[in-house]
């Protein structure tokens, strides 16, 4: 059974002003298989959306901005993360 997840990320600087350009990465962790990655770059138009259909139960997602680990999130459809830069 597939798990469908839609996640949004908007990078913000001081005063919650959107920051364009950083590469955003999500690492998806599964119960019984190797993790997978998705990468996108942000822009000023709003959040970057990650859409995914995963063939197995997800444990959580790890959020990276460029090469920096930011946080781990439980698997919840429609999650929006706003890491400060």
Average pLDDT over residues 32-52: 79
Domain 3-81 has CATH 1.10.150: no
CA dist., res. 22 & res. 63, Å (int): 13
Segments making up each domain of the chain, as ranges: 3-81
How many CB atoms neighbour CB 4 within 10 A? 9
DSSP 22-67: -EEEEEEEESSS--EEEEEE-BTTB-EEEEEEESS-EEEEEEEETT
Rounded to 5 degrees, what are φ and ψ at 54? -110, 130
pLDDT of 10-40, one tens digit each? Answer: 777 777 676 777 788 888 888 888 888 888 8
Instruction: Report the pLDDT value the prediction gives residue 81, as an integer from 0 to 100.
Output: 61
**High-pLDDT (> 70) share of the chain, %:** 76
Instruction: Report the pLDDT value the prediction gives residue 58, as an integer from 0 to 100.
Output: 79
Eight-class DSSP state of 78: T
């Amino acid at each position: 059974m597939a798990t469908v997840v839609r996640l949004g990320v908007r990078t913000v600087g001081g005063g919650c002003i959107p920051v364009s350009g950083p590469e955003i990465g999500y690492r998806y962790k599964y119960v019984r298989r190797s993790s997978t990655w998705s990468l996108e770059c942000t822009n000023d138009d709003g959040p970057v959306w990650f859409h995914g259909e995963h063939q197995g139960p997800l444990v959580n997602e790890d959020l990276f901005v460029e090469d920096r680990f930011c946080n781990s999130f439980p698997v919840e459809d429609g999650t929006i993360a706003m890491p400060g830069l």
